[in-house]
Structure formats: C-alpha cells, structure tokens
Amino acid sequence: MIAVRDLRFAYGQGFALTVPWLDVAAGERVAVVGPSGSGKTTLLNLVSGISVPDTGMVSLGGTEIGALGDRDRRALRAASVGFVFQEFALVDYLSAEENVLYPYRIGRGLRLDRAARTRARALLSEFGLGAKTRRRPAQLSQGERQRVAIARALVTQPKVILADEATGNLDPANKAAALDLLFAQGAETDAALLCVTHDHELLPRFDRVIDFADLAGVA
C-alpha cells in the first residue's frame, strides 16, 4: 500500500532525510521509533503527500504522489490517508463532532452524508466522548483532544493511517484503548498503519518495528 524508494528530502540547506526503501502492506501495522529530530514526522509528511520528495518516490496504492499536481495530491490525501498529527491540529471554533467531520469540508470528492455523520458519532462514543460531541477543543482535556484527532483520522475509513505519537498524551489504559481502536478500524478497512511512537511498551503489539536509526540516514 505504501512504497518508498530512494527518497531524499531536505529543508533547504538544513536537515535532510534519506530513506532507501520502505514498504507497508495493506493491513500491516508498523511502528516507527527513533530519536527526537531524526525525521519521523518528516517521513509521515512525505508519505501523506503534505511534502514532496526532492528525489525518489512515494506511492500509495500504486499512485506516485510526487507525480500529481497540488489539487490531485490533496484529493488523494483526503480520500486515502488518515493522519493523527502530533499536535492534533484541531480547529478551535468547531465542536468535537465537527472536527471529526472536518475531512469532508476540505476533501474534494468526499461526501458528508448520513453514514459519515453516523460514523463520526459512533467513533466518538467508542472513544468515550459520546456526551461531549458538542464541546470545542478548549473544553476538552488533552487526552480527549487526542481521541478526537484519532477519530478524525479514521472517519473516512482511509486505506492508509499515519499516526504521529497518537498515544503520547494518554494514560496507560487509554494508550492501549486508543491503539485497540486504531487497530480495529484499520483491520476493518485493511488499512496500512504507520505509527510513530515513543511508547516502547506498545511495540510488541505491532507486526513490525522500524528503528529510524536503521531506516534513514542524514545526508
């Protein structure tokens, strides 16, 4: 589902990431670990098409995202990728439910229909937020905001789920529960799951662990 080949990406004259090879199959659950600043978030941005490689290739389901124009890349991302951002990136003035449905506001080709609304509410309920769907992010705890961000990444039933420290702000029970939900939703849609984490106790639950120190090099 995810294929990366001979990727190189640099922030101007600054940090440069190289990834010779990375594959994540449909249904596979892969953890990414590595030191702070080693480029894990940069990799997720490249896999999602938020950034485009300087050289090399990233493809999702056989579509090379670097070959697409901005509009098509955004459309592919909206349709195929669920992204749990490290800082959540929730919209302050929208309720929890409206935040979960946000991909439908911006995703060309995604239809905000009754099924999507039902899915959003079901996800929030499963996350223990059924009574807080109308609250704004500022009226939620850090852990609750994180669960809204996870629900938003899952609502479109994406084929690729990228999570940047999705369990970072949760207590141990909620960490396990959040991962259960990510895994359950991923299994339902046979999604490829790439999860950056510093929670080493969660690693045995993944099919595979990529240590960023082995995967990438600083050019």
Cα–Cα–Cα angle for 50, 187, 157, nearest 5°? 45
Indicate which single residue of 5, 41, 56, 174 sits in contact with ligand ATP (rule: CB under 6 A).
41
Which span sits near ligand ATP by CB under 6 A: 35-43, 69-77, 104-112, 118-126? 35-43
Instruction: Answer yes or no whether residue 51 interacts with ligand ATP by CB under 6 A.
Output: no
Indicate which single residue of 36, 71, 87, 131 sits in contact with ligand ATP (rule: CB under 6 A).
36
Nearest Cα to 151, choosing from 123, 188, 193?
123
Instruction: Answer yes or no whether residue 37 interacts with ligand ATP by CB under 6 A.
Output: yes
Q: Shortest gap between Cβ of 19 and ligand ATP (angstroms)?
A: 12
* Pairing outcome for strands 160-164 and 192-196: parallel
Instruction: Answer yes or no whether residue 11 interacts with ligand ATP by CB under 6 A.
Output: yes
Please identify which residue in the block is written with the tokens 């807080």: 132
Count of residues that interact with ligand ATP, criterion CB under 6 A: 11
Which span sits near ligand ATP by CB under 6 A: 33-41, 54-62, 145-153, 203-211? 33-41
Q: Pick left, alpha or beta for residue 88 (phi over 0 → left; psi -120 to 50 → alpha; otherwise beta).
A: left
Q: Shortest gap between Cβ of 192 and ligand ATP (angstroms)?
A: 19
SS3 147: helix
Instruction: Answer yes or no whether residue 62 interacts with ligand ATP by CB under 6 A.
Output: no
Helix-strand-coil percent breakdown of the chain, rounded to 5? Answer: 40, 25, 35
Which span sits near ligand ATP by CB under 6 A: 29-37, 94-102, 118-126, 199-207? 29-37
Which residues of the chain form contacts with ligand ATP (CB under 6 A)? 11, 14-15, 34, 36-42
